Every structure is written in C-alpha cells, then in structure tokens.
Amino acid sequence: MISIKGLHKQFGQLEVLKGIDLEVEKGKVVVVIGPSGSGKTTMLRCLNVLEIPTKGIITIDEQTLDFSKNVSKKNIASFRRLTGMVFQNYNLFPHKTVLENVMEGPVIVKGEGKQAASKRAQGLLEKVGLGDKLDFYPSQLSGGQQQRVGIARALAMEPQVMLFDEPTSALDPELVGEVLKVMKDLAKEGMTMIVVTHEMRFARDAADEVIFMDGGVVVERNKPEEMFESPKEERTKRFLNMIL
C-alpha cells in the first residue's frame, strides 16, 4: 500500500530526514515512536505532501511521486487525497459547525453535492460517537470530541491511508481513551494507518509493527511485543528505558 524509498527532507541547512525506507502493507497499523526532533512529524507531512521532500520516491496505492524530479501541483493534489491527516491540535474550522467541518472537504475539494456530503458526514459523526453534536461549534466541545471530529473529517475524504500525528498528546488524560477507541475501531475495520504517538499501550494493543526513529532515520522496526520486550539496537533500548 505504501512504499517510501530514500526519503530526504532538508529545512535550509538542517537535514531532518536522512533516507527513510519503509513499506506498509494494506490494512496494517504502524506506530512510529522516537525522541522529539527525530523527524516523525516531518515524515508524516511528507507522506501527505504538506512538506515537499528534498528527494525520495513515495508510492501510495499505485500512485508514485519521485521528488528528485519536478512534481506538478496537480499530481501533488491528487496524491494528497490518498491520505487523511489527523493533527495534534485538531485544526478544525472554529467558525463552522461540527457537521460543516466534516462536509467541507468533500464539498469544496471533491465537488460532492451538499446533500450527499451532509448525509455521509452525519454517518461518520455517528461512527465516532458524535451524532448528537452536529450543530455544535468546536469551542463547545471537549478536546476528545474535537479530535473525534478531526478523525471524521479526515475519513470524509475517503483516504486509502490515515496518518495520525500525536493525536492524543494535547488531551487531558481522561479524554485520551475515547480517541484511541475510535482509532482502534478503524484499525479493526482494516484501515491502513501510520500513527505517531507516545501511547505505548495503543502501540501494544493495535500496532502490527512499531518503528523507532532517531536522527532522521528508521533505527529499528519490529512487532510491538519484540520492540518493547527485546529491542535490538542500543538507541532503541535507551529511548524505551526513558519512557517505559
């Protein structure tokens, strides 16, 4: 489903991604862990082409972008639709209702009719447990509810892959569970997911594979139980000792 080859990203002189290679099969959940500044967010943003990689080849669902060549805006736009991104700070439109937030992408970007988009949005909001909050504004919701709107909004674009960038790290601890539950349900339905998170329980329960990144490279990848019980690399051991 996803193949990343030799992905590099530089911000000015700072080389943040130093050659990432990664393959993710359809329906798998990959959790990405690693110290702050290791390039986890940048990798997700490159997959969604919110950042333009310096070089590298990314294939998602048979569409390929080779960033060592010029990539057209049109190709980027169609590639971006393959992935849905969920952000740490929800990024909802504050002046739009919950329902309008979820309808916005399909109507504006995909040109879907308002009635059809509204019906689908309602279905998605019911799925994330917010069927009774359609006319609320984001500021009237808890952080956990806002993030569930964020997930519904990403799903509304019918992506092939869902990318989660620390989706629970801005939440009060008692609100984390409701968001993780929605994510686990999605995983069970067979959604392909890449999740950057510090929630090691989620990694243990829901991940098919855990990837440890440090210094802009993938240091180690393994099944969660092996990653947590018997990490191979020194750098992984040191990191896990600090957080577990």
Interface positions with ligand ADP (CB under 6 A): 11, 14, 16, 34, 36-42
Amino acid at 131: G
CA 32 to chain centre: 10
Min dist CB 185 to ligand ADP, Å, is 25
Nearer to ligand ADP, 76 or 108 (CB): 76
Q: How far is Cα 94 from Cα 10, in angstroms, rounded to an integer?
A: 32
The nearest distance, CB 41 to ligand ADP, in angstroms, is 3
CA atoms within 13 A on the CB side of 219: 23
Instruction: Calculate the alpha carbon distances from 241 to 49, 173, 180, 229, 244 in Å.
Output: 33, 22, 24, 11, 6
Q: Is the CB of 138 or the CB of 202 nearer to ligand ADP?
A: 202
Bridge partners of residue 64, in order along the sequence:
59
**How far apart are CB 217 and ligand ADP at their closest, in Å?**
12
Residue whose CB is less far from ligand ADP, 30 or 98: 30
Q: Which residues of 164-191 are buried (b: 16+ CB within 10 A; e: fewer)?
A: bbbbbeebeeebbebbbebbeebbeeeb
With respect to ligand ADP, which residue has the nearer C-beta, 51 or 61?
51
Shortest distance in whole angstroms from residue 166 CB to ligand ADP = 8
